[in-house]
Chains A and B, each alone.
Chain A
Amino acid sequence: MWFTKKDRIDDVARQLAHSPDFMCRRIECKGRNVYVLFLSNLINHAHLHQNVLSFIHEQQHISIDQLARCLPIGAVSICETEKEMASYIRDGWAGIYIEKEKRGLVVNIAEKVERSLEKAETESLVLGPKMSFTESIDTNIRILRQNVTDPKLVTEKIMIGVRNPLEVRVVYIEDIADETNVQTVKQRLEELHIDEVIDSSVLAQMLDDHAYTIFPQYLLTELPDRLAYSLLKGRIGIFVDRSPTVIICPTTFFSFFETTEDIYLRWAMSTVLRAVRMLGIFASIFLSPLYVAVITYHYEVIPSALLLTIGESRSRVPFPPVIEALFLEFMIELLREAGARLPTKVGQTMGIVGGIVLGQAAVDAGFTSNVLIIIVALSALGSFTAPSYEMGATIRILRFPIILLAAFWGLVGIFIGVSILLIHLLKMTSLGRPYLSPIYPFRFTDMKYALIRLPVRFYHQRPKTNRPQNSRRFSWREAMKRKDLDE
């Protein structure tokens, strides 16, 4: 019991000695000294005056228990040690200590700074809800609860970080999410012994199954509707305080190419759009390597009419195709990176002018061929179609080793690259679940969740890939019932 002596207040004060904004307000009430301690930068002052200071003044009889019962504040807690109290005060609570009492009281009057709710930036949509998560975990949980009103929604709290503790919430729907998955997530989170975690993207890397791969293993989203959709399909979300992105796991390779818009659009459109996206990404990885391979080793493959055009445009280029391709790819990467770092207005001008001027000048100066500019521009466009920023970045990088393989061994080199990719993706897991599902292990009924879209009446089951405890969504038979004519 620490609070037996009056000067124990000094211990709390000593712990907070490095904060010039630490205040200790003494109020005399019925001949007893009441101390109110707080960090003035962190609290809501109006709240403090109205609900704490004035309230204490008005009391006839004063004791910790009575204050704990009567204070008109939601979050109140009784502290046994001064260390505990100091840590509460650091979080923006106010500590109350009454002379000759054995315990202290803390009340939550913190005022947190946060951004207002805004439109999603990185995952922009045309249809559907536009709201995105913010940096405050309380707001994020509130948004989630508004989206998912299922009574089985669980939001479990785990603290991570020794030096700079961070609140992490594991959210899932109790009777849908697979228990093993939930256990794995919780176990991995609890086994993390680390001093601090900065952001959810960093936490996602710490939870990785494979550290050395270039593929992301967990989906990061800032869209509440996407999280709600994933939870209801049996996945698990991880909220991290101070981070506007939520981790969704387990994730498959194909979920990085889905957007929530696929669900909002009608089935035919979203099937075509998904195909376009897949094709774009495929082209983004393989177009420039194909150019390099074919021009360097197998120009016989190109029909003669096309070969003439290519030959003509390459006639002034003094470099081998691989140098040409690497140079142009590097230039595009440079433009993209510069565009991302600059403020929006300058960035746009720079992108357009830099792209057109540099591209045109490169051809005129005989550095590259026109055909290659088209190819590189196409593959850059293709990589932009990846809805996940992380996967888009992966695809950007992936192109370079394959260009090199193509330069070494031509088409066979590209297929060696394909084999390595295939093997690598087959080996990968996310949260111990196969990454390439539903392609392998093959799940026919999950195809409608990954590669194509069907009319909504076909979505009577949750995807098997997530191993939901309860996979039924509605009655398939009723949905498919045909009415008689004139019925």
Chain B
Amino acid sequence: MMKTPNERLSINAYLVFFLVHTAQIGLGIVGVQRVIFVEARQDAWIAVLLSGLWIHLVVFVICQTLKLSEHDNIFSLHTFVYGRVFGWIANAAVVVYFLMAYTSILLGYVEMALTWMYPDFPLWGGALILVILTVYALYGGGFRLVAGVSFLTFFMAIWVVVVVFQPLKYAEWIHLLPIFEATPKQMMNGVLKTSYTMLGFEVLYIIYPFVKEKERVHRYAQIGVMLTTFLVAAVTVIAIAFFSPKQLDVTIWASLSMFTIVKFSFIERFEYIVIPLWLLVILPNLLMFMWAMTRGGKALFRIKQKYGLFLFACLSFAVAIIFEKRATINEFIDQVGWYGFWLSFVYPFFLYVFVRMKTWAKGSTK
């Protein structure tokens, strides 16, 4: 009211760490082990590390791109580079990606919760609850709320990491040998399959204008990505050591299955605690992607974010109820991973080159 919206809405740079990290960690980490293991066998963890390295590079490129011109988010960059019409199409593609990412998390979590805990509950009911939760959070909350939720849920959920190490008692480290057996092609496929788990850092393209200290964004984003890579690599190594190869081939939610052997004097079946707790892990994901969509909606249709919020919420719910079965949900998540791989792992390099050329061309005409 009294302050400029810019200062009131902006956040401190250290929050970028939490935003990037919580946007990356979500459903993938619960079941990533099998998907990579099928491709890269016991070298799966190397695939995770390779993909982590790649992401560090991508984050560097993204930050460089944003620094190049006065356009500091992906939507205005697209219009700047491709012109109005093609820029609009590119922006629409980005929004569709966020819509898919949001819906995949929605479906994935509801499906997991229903399979493990509530076999009789309808899928659309669970999806509806999550959509309403998102709308409630963002309506009147905006970006500051997204940042707050990722900051707080990070601390509310990170303690689970300590528990992950309990299955190590039963680890057979021999499962990890021999190292470097995977062929380059297998390894590449492994990296590709990691993408869905690691996606989320592309939100940098959208949160960048909201950060006060622009020069420190890059550092914190890199730290966030590093923590994600470390966690994913850790659960992968533990799962490979814990399960026999044949077992891991058929274990869909490997992390959860490892939790089944965790036991305290007052809690048995620890995974029954973890699945509800995971709501807090996917909450920042949901909020972040929905918020990104509303930003996109503003760029695409010039509608207010609060109207965009309802529009995209209805849209994602509609997409979610189309998928009912595990098989179709799996396919959908694979599609999102594939789409996300091209958009987030590969495209930033091209965008950097385009922006570079465009600014150069503009500079020379002056």
Contacts and interface: CB of A to CB of B under 8 A. Distances in A.
Interface in A395-449: 409-412, 414-416, 418-420, 422-423, 426-427, 432, 436, 439-442
Contacts of B136: 420, 423
24 contacts: A180-B2, A300-B268, A300-B272, A301-B268, A301-B272, A410-B117, A410-B118, A410-B276, A411-B272, A411-B273, A412-B117, A412-B118, A412-B275, A412-B279, A416-B279, A418-B280, A419-B133, A422-B149, A423-B136, A423-B137, A427-B140, A427-B141, A427-B145, A441-B12
Given A412-B276, A412-B279, A416-B129, 9 more contacts: A298-B269, A301-B273, A304-B268, A410-B276, A411-B276, A412-B275, A423-B133, A427-B145, A441-B12
Contacts of B151: 440, 442
Interface of B: 1-2, 12, 113, 117-118, 121, 129, 133, 136-137, 140-141, 145, 148-149, 151-153, 265-269, 272-273, 275-277, 279-280, 283
Contacts of A202: none
Contact of B117 (A298, A306, A414): A298
Given A419-B133, A423-B136, A409 B280 contact: no
B283 A301 contact: no
Given A301-B273, A426-B141, A440-B148, A419 B280 contact: yes
A226 B265 CA distance: 43
Given A301-B268, A303-B267, A303-B268, A426 B152 contact: yes
A298 B133 contact: no
A35 B299 CA distance: 78
A88 to B, nearest CB: 39
A302 B268 contact: yes
Nearest to B125: A409
Interface in A294-319: 297-298, 300-304, 306
Contacts of A436: 148
Interface in A212-235: none
A292 to B, nearest CB: 14
Nearest to A300: B269
B272 to A, nearest CB: 5
Contact of A415 (B12, B121, B276): B276
Closest 7 CB pairs of A and B: A411-B276, A426-B148, A415-B276, A423-B137, A415-B279, A300-B269, A412-B276
A440 B218 CA distance: 22
**Chain B binding site: helix, strand, loop or mixed by DSSP?**
helix
A416 B133 CA distance: 8
Contacts of B277: 415
Which secondary structure characterizes the binding site on chain A?
A: helix
B40 to A, nearest CB: 34
B2 A439 contact: no
B290 to A, nearest CB: 13
A347 B148 CA distance: 45
Contacts of B276: 410-412, 414-415
A440 B152 contact: yes
A420 B272 contact: no
Interface in A197-248: none
Given A411-B276, A440-B148, A423 B141 contact: yes
A152 B97 CA distance: 58
A441 B18 CA distance: 13
B227 to A, nearest CB: 17
Contact of A419 (B269, B272, B279): B279
A297 B117 contact: yes
Contacts of B140: 427
Contacts of B1: 432
Contacts of B141: 423, 426-427
Interface in A20-72: none
Contacts of A410: 117-118, 276
A414 B280 CA distance: 11
Contacts of A303: 265-268
Nearest to A440: B148
B259 to A, nearest CB: 12
Contacts of B118: 297, 409-410, 412
A427 B287 CA distance: 14
B152 A439 contact: yes
Contacts of A423: 133, 136-137, 141, 145, 149
A416 B149 CA distance: 14
Contacts of A306: 266
Nearest to B11: A441
B107 to A, nearest CB: 15
B280 A412 contact: no
A128 B283 CA distance: 45
Contacts of A301: 267-269, 272-273
B258 to A, nearest CB: 17
A302 B141 CA distance: 38
A442 B267 CA distance: 32
A260 to B, nearest CB: 28
A412 B125 CA distance: 13
Contacts of B152: 422, 426, 439-440
A424 to B, nearest CB: 8
B211 to A, nearest CB: 14
B144 to A, nearest CB: 8
A283 to B, nearest CB: 14
Contacts of B129: 409, 416
B37 to A, nearest CB: 28
B145 A426 contact: yes
A412 B149 contact: no
B147 to A, nearest CB: 8
Nearest to B283: A419
A361 B297 CA distance: 61
B3 to A, nearest CB: 9
B220 to A, nearest CB: 14
Given A422-B149, A426-B149, A442-B151, A412 B137 contact: no
Contacts of B275: 411-412
A203 B265 CA distance: 50
Nearest to A306: B266
A345 to B, nearest CB: 42
> Which of B118, B152, B277 has the most chain A CB atoms inside 10 A of its CB?
B152
A442 B266 CA distance: 33
Nearest to B2: A180
Nearest to A210: B140
B136 to A, nearest CB: 6
Task: Tell which of B2, B268, B280 has the most Cβ of chain A within 10 Å.
Answer: B268
B294 to A, nearest CB: 16
A301 B277 CA distance: 14
Contacts of A419: 133, 279-280, 283
Nearest to B286: A419
Contacts of B273: 301, 411
Contacts of A411: 117, 272-273, 275-276
A31 B342 CA distance: 107
A432 B144 CA distance: 14
Contacts of A420: 133, 136
A420 B129 CA distance: 11
Nearest to A422: B152
A419 B138 CA distance: 13
Which of A180, A304, A426, A436 has the largest count of B CB atoms less than 10 A from its CB?
A: A426
Contacts of B280: 415, 418-419
Contacts of A414: 276
Contacts of A418: 280
A198 to B, nearest CB: 29
